[in-house]
Amino acid sequence: MAEYRLRFNKTVNNSVQVGDVIYTSTITIDSNGNEIASTPDLTGEVIRISGSRRNIFVDITSGTVPSSNDFIMFQKNRQVNESGLKGYFAEAVFTNGSSIKAELFDIGVEATYSSK
């Protein structure tokens, strides 16, 4: 494992957590003054966060070391952070707070069993 520290002047997004994947993109300015971002490059997986969320330590074994002016973004770990509701049942109450009649046409939900 090759540990690399990303140091920020401000507190980073609270959503970043160990296991997330960091990507970087180089920003250039074209002749019209527009900022152009390169295709994101894999930097590595977050292995530790410290310093009041200002230091993110990344395993860059298979990634690219970012430069100081790169744009840094992250992707959540899909195995840990599944989307959707979890559980065996749910109950919903819909209330019309208006005096005008309303009709509900359709309801949809994405649910994932939390255990079996």
pLDDT tens digits for range 22-68 = 999 999 999 999 999 999 999 999 999 998 889 999 999 878 899 88
State pTM to two decimals.
0.65
What integer is the mean pLDDT of 8-29? 90
CA distances from 64 to 23, 28, 36, 40, 92 (A): 9, 18, 19, 10, 47
Query: What are the strands, taking DSSP E only, across 14-114?
Result: 21-25, 27-29, 35-37, 41-50, 55-59, 71-75, 85-86, 111-112
Domain ranges (residues) in the chain:
3-75
